[in-house]
Amino acid sequence: QAHLRDELGVLADGLGVQVHPQGYQFPTAWAQAASWNPDGPRTVGEVAARQARDVGIHVLFSPLLDIARDIRWGRVHETYGEDPELVAQMGLAFIHGVQGDGGDSGTLATGKHFLGYGHSLGALNQASTQLGRRELTDTYAEPFRRAIAAGLSLVMASYNDVDGVPASGNSWLLKDLLREQLGFNGLVVSDYGAISMLHSIYLTAPDARHAAAQALTAGLDVELPSAATTGGLRS
């Protein structure tokens, strides 16, 4: 148990269930979506949640609610595909499997990545997303809208910038769209090291402390995987 917990840490992505020799492995989300049967992702969510709880983990960083329409993108196999309706139905099934129909399973699901992460220039990972607000809101946010209405507990902001503004420091994205328009009232967490990228990659902040302030002001609640930037702020 202790060894397994150390190996898993907080990874617990749940994409094909636990990434560990002792965990069950299922087809990727892309393959699950090809079945057109939401019962599959629901079962995967149930098994992932049960295995996570067995080692003391209560948050899964899944499902991916990204819409992916360019097969060159390296993470396309982690998504449920290109259609908002299919992504929404598969994602909802997984969430209900993880959290239970009444949200009482003892495990929470995380919808990611918010937003437009799978629509990057040249299909490059972490590259810029150049979509208008209408398409972002009506198409790419639709799976999140449905998941939030069904009780999604956490949302993970994405690495990419949206029209030149990094998602982790984008108040329109995380406050106006996610909180106000979509009605999300759960926790917003960063992707791993994304806040540090505000000063190391995007140069919108001069140092780690300013990056932390920028992200928290924009609407992020929790830095992952550690307090690399937020640890420098005054309590």
Q: Kindly state the tokens that stand for 64.
A: 């991916």
Q: Give 65-70's long-range contacts (Cβ < 8 A, gap of 24+).
A: 65/91, 65/111, 65/112, 65/143, 65/144, 65/147, 66/112, 66/113, 66/117, 66/118, 67/118, 67/119, 67/139, 67/140, 67/143, 68/118, 68/119, 69/118, 69/119, 70/118, 70/119, 70/123
Helix, strand, or coil (residue 3): helix
Q: Measure the N-to-C terminal CA separation of the chain; round to a whole number of Å.
A: 35
Q: Are 86 and 36 in contact (CB under 8 A)?
A: yes
Contact present, 171 and 218 (Cβ < 8 Å): yes
- Identify the residue whose tokens are 């396309």: 76
Q: In DSSP terms, which residues pair with 64 in a beta bridge?
A: 112
Residue whose C-alpha is closest to residue 126's, from 91, 84, 175, 168: 168
Q: Does the active-site annotation cover 191?
A: yes
Active-site hit among 39, 83, 191, 221: 191
- The region, left, alpha or beta by phi > 0 then psi within -120 to 50, assigned to residue 126 is left
Q: Across-strand partners of 157?
A: 114
**Residues noted as catalytic:** 191
